[in-house]
Amino acid sequence: MRQSSVVIDSKLPQVGTTIFTVMSKLAADCGAINLSQGFPDFQADSSLFDATARAMREGRNQYPPMAGVPELRSAIADKVAALYGASYDADSEITVTAGATQAIFTAIAAFVRAGDEVIIFEPVYDSYVPAIETVGGKAVYAALGFPDYRPDWQQVRSLIGPQTRMILINSPHNPTGSLLAADDLDQLAALTRDTDIVVLSDEVYEHIVFDGVQHQSVAAHPELAARGIVVSSFGKTYHITGWKVGYVLGAAALMAEFRKVHQFNVFTVNTPCQLGIAEYMCDASRHLGLAAFYAGKREYFRSQLQGSRFELLPCRGSYFQLARYGAISDLPDREFARWLTCEAGVAAIPVSAFHHDGRDERVVRFCFAKQEATLAAAGERLRAL
């Protein structure tokens, strides 16, 4: 291995390899069923591939506009108007991104300066804090109450100060599957009223909400929309996580700042995939049917764990199921996840990985975005514990 002569003062000294990469590699090394990383093990609709290939064959293979092809931005505007009654200008208020993680990083880089504070809620998705710290910001932690994972808005009020530049919310929530309600958005609006705080809303699982509940989008809340950047993901919606295509919504003045960074860290997103998605999403049933599709998988996976010693926590959205394992083991969750992968043959994510202080509530996260055969095989192993 080549050695470097450069002394590196790391900007992220506490950051190692993401837990998702670690657990997926361990699953592969141990021959385990991988219910850790959040990606489907089934194919997307072939008509999406056909539309994308057709764009390639028609010669649409050069740089698209920086903000995204007009066809896709127009389709996004139509979808958002139909779902949330919100009118976003396709030219100035919608930008196509190289996935949601890039969108979140770019939004943070655009608005957070050195010394600024960003309030986040934990358990917290693992890309948020490194993005904040990379640009010199400081993450300020609000707790989602265990085991219902609800925000405490009085606590949030106490955390807001003169350095607060952004509040980052995530609903449906990864890893917990909890949801923000309309009242939560109202309280957030009240807390940020008459401030210059930007609300960054990670809504990548917006179409995966269960039990007849409606997703509460910042886009549908006029007061928050005026200060909000909303992030969504085609990878999550159309089972194409490897394509890394997402988008952001925001008022024109906010979007102008977002694009200043976007044009220099990504510039734009590949043309044929944008065109293929634009054609595919014109059939609204393809995203409107997603909740029922994943509700079926949720129920199937939960049925597979009936008779096991796992205690399943509520899952109101996303494609993740949390489970307590205290009746099986008293190991810390990272050790339990490793044991579960290598000895029981099913990989999961330890939820302490989503806490900055390693708080361990003896809970692991399973992904049920899998074929029934995969879930059944995993269930058989998990029931045996």
Q: What is the pLDDT of residues 163-177, one digit of tens each?
A: 999 999 999 999 999
165 C-beta neighbours (distance < 10 Å), count: 21
pLDDT tens, 47-96?
A: 999 999 999 999 999 999 999 999 999 999 999 999 999 999 999 999 99
Mean pLDDT of 321-349: 97
- pLDDT computed for residue 236 by the predictor: 96
Nearest residue to 188 via CA among 220, 144, 151: 151
**182 and 131 belong to one structural domain:** yes
Domain range for residue 54?
46-284
- How many domains does the structure of the chain reveal? 2
CATH of the domain at 350: 3.90.1150.10
Query: What average pLDDT does the chain have?
Result: 96
* CB distance 320 to 367 below 8 Å: yes
Write down the pLDDT at residue 9: 85
Q: Which two tokens stand for residue 301?
A: 């996976």
pLDDT of residue 12: 83
Assess whether pLDDT exceeds 90 at residue 205: yes
**pLDDT above 80: residue 291:** yes
* Residue range 216-275, pLDDT digits in tens: 999 999 999 999 999 999 999 999 999 999 999 999 999 999 999 999 999 999 999 999
What is residue 8's predicted lDDT score, i.e. its pLDDT? 83
Which of 11-24 are b and which e, b meaning 16 or more Cβ less than 10 Å from the residue's Cβ?
eeeeeeeebbebbb
pLDDT digits (tens, 9 = 90+) for 190-200: 999 999 999 99
Identify the CATH number of the domain in which residue 250 sits.
Answer: 3.40.640.10
Last residue of a domain, one of 284, 304, 320: 284
DSSP string across 109-170:
HHH--TT-EEEEEES--TTHHHHHHHTT-EEEEEEBPTTT--B-HHHHHHH--TTEEEEEEE
Amino acid at 257: E
Query: For the purposes of burial, counting CB atoms within 10 Å of the CB of 310, is it exposed (0-12), middle (13-18) or buried (19 or more)?
Result: buried
In three-state secondary structure terms, 231 is strand
Same domain flag for 203 and 255: yes
